Amino acid sequence: MTDVTYWKSALVITSNIVSRTLSKYPFMKTLGSFINKKSIEARRTVIDQQSVFYVFQLVIKTEYGRLGAENITPVFFKEKKIFIKASGSTWASEIWLNRGHIVKKVNEQLGGEEIIDLAMSQ
């Protein structure tokens, strides 16, 4: 028996043992399915509104300074959107024009795609 034939037969025997074990004990799972399930569950962490507001205010202060932080305030967070209030039309226009950049910066700070858009509220 050559080495290749030996390893092929060993592989067949091992796969037969694994398939019989999994069919005999259906509650047993492969390690790969366990790891994939855990990584999916880990990604489902919910970020609360206060955390999103804190990061949003940091990004606004970094991008627009103290005046921006005073004039642009988040109101509420729903369905991956931050609803914001601006003290004037100039600030509202500035945020509206740069919302893609702001969303990108907030998501970088949060570590994922937690925000998809900004919306103005009255």
3-state SS, 80-107, equals CEEEEEECCHHHHHHHHHCHHHHHHHHH
> How many C-beta atoms surround the C-beta of residue 92 within 10 A?
16
pLDDT tens digit string along 6-57? 656 665 666 666 566 556 555 555 555 655 555 555 555 678 899 999 999 9
Instruction: Read off the pTM.
Output: 0.64
Q: Which residue pairs from 54-62 have beta carbons closer than 8 angstroms and sit at least 24 positions apart in sequence?
A: 55/106, 55/109, 55/110, 56/82, 56/84, 56/102, 56/106, 58/109, 59/102, 59/105, 59/106, 59/109, 60/102, 62/105
